[in-house]
Structure 1
Amino acid sequence: MGNEGNGISDEVRDLVNRKLYIPNYPQGQDTSESLNVAIATAITCAEIRRQGITR
């Protein structure tokens, strides 16, 4: 996870082999510019659990 202003560092970016996108909700409506990194992490963890994703 990167910070809200700068995202991830170049070093981390070089190690990443998959990216994910968290869409705005509700779709089609203006929302905040970015998510707090704690909220983005919580959304990601909840979706991983919901889908039963494992290595």
Structure 2
Amino acid sequence: AQVEMNAATGEAKLSIPKVDLQQHAGTVTCRLENPHGIQEETARLDILAAPL
């Protein structure tokens, strides 16, 4: 997986090249750390179909 971070907007993008329906679906945890603390969030990633 590849993560791109936009420092100006604070947005992050997760890209999964050659996604596999079985291997990549499931729980994804995003953890951010800086001098002020740690924030962690978990989400379920559903992959309905591989890209064309």
Normalised by the shorter chain, which TM-score bucket?
Answer: under 0.3
Q: TM-score, normalised by structure 2?
A: 0.27
Higher strand share: 2
Which structure's residues are more often helix, by fraction?
A: 1
TM-score of the pair, normalised by structure 1:
0.26
